Chains A and B, each alone.
Chain A
């Protein structure tokens, strides 16, 4: 497995796209819908943002284009699918580890709701 150099924090758009692709390859519209579902409707990505981020992710190898095929749940138009690469998977894992550390820090400082001392 290719080991990546330490990478800076991902932008929210890139993070959400990687997260959406972690459960399987998707086309652009599918990524948009998955991002919305993952964030419980709080993050809605426009086409400009999505494809701008996808282009840069393709350039650095975080994702790659899969085959072009029909989505059985939609019409019979052939769509380009995107999938996570191993580099992308590692970048996502590194980012989630970063979030894990921040959540642990917040718990330590009793900053999270449902913490005994929260709000006092």
Chain B
């Protein structure tokens, strides 16, 4: 019990780090003390349901973190350039996957089911992909949603966007570049879902692991690289759309770019959902799950 208390206190301290800096510096120490006081009080009252109680505090604090970050964003008049504001997508996506991490923590680690280094590495890889996937979705959608809420979605011909067109802001070149960047990721996922074994040739010994107990590092890295390229592709495809909306145009001003962005986003979303559906039984402690 003492070990679990120390661990949750450490985890709560790490959770508090997600608050905006100003808030954290002013209130962080008090919040930590209050959390300790609440845990001690609960421990004195009863030992049963302690984890659920702690989980409730984590969730409530996480909601507070989201609220404070959104408030900060509004104060900053955010997001002229979404790439310089990666913090909010990273935090939001982490909070989305936090319940699943806590589920695995509760049912696997705390209940001392079989858990070794390989399991830990697998968990880290899976949650990292989930985090990246959800963060990418938030990052891609944020400026579009912001412009929609600002009422820039008009079904009329847009006014010409300000500034010279670059290779990324030109809709045609942006579409071609993003298609090429997204191709590896889309291909890999399609092959996986259709259960088609591609001819790997000389790469087969590297990508196909004869020992299923050994992690396929190269395969994982390649898939990660493909996913990152797909995210970059979607961001590039989105550039002319956001520029058109900011100039007062419609979301549908560049339909081909929009269609490509939607396709890539859908694949990323399907990856996220597929991972969750596939791994959920493992997170709730179903035995012999992989």
Contacts and interface: CB of A to CB of B under 8 A. Distances in A.
A36 to B, nearest CB: 11
A75 B36 CA distance: 11
Interface residues of A, number: 19
Interface in A17-38: 27-29, 32
Contact of A46 (B26, B33, B61, B68): B61
Contacts of B26: 55, 58
Contacts of B187: none
Contacts, number: 59
A47 B68 contact: no
Contacts of B68: 52, 55
Q: How large is the interface on B (under 10, 10 to 19, 20 to 34, 35 or more residues)?
A: 20 to 34
A46 B37 contact: no
Contacts of B67: 48, 52
Interface in A50-105: 50-52, 54-55, 58, 74-75, 77, 79-80
A47 B33 contact: no
A47 B29 contact: no
Contacts of A79: 30, 33
B64 A49 contact: yes
Contacts of A52: 64, 67-68
B228 interface: no
Nearest to B65: A48
Contact residues of B: prevailing secondary structure? helix
A56 B204 CA distance: 59
Nearest to B62: A48
A46 B57 contact: yes
B24 to A, nearest CB: 10
B37 A74 contact: yes
A47 B63 contact: no
B38 interface: yes
Interface in B18-51: 23, 26-27, 29-31, 33-38, 40
Interface of B: 23, 26-27, 29-31, 33-38, 40, 56-57, 60-65, 67-68
Given A47-B60, A49-B64, 5 more contacts: A28-B31, A32-B34, A55-B68, A75-B40, A80-B29
15 contacts: A28-B31, A29-B33, A29-B34, A29-B37, A32-B34, A47-B60, A48-B62, A51-B31, A51-B34, A51-B64, A55-B23, A55-B26, A58-B26, A77-B33, A77-B36
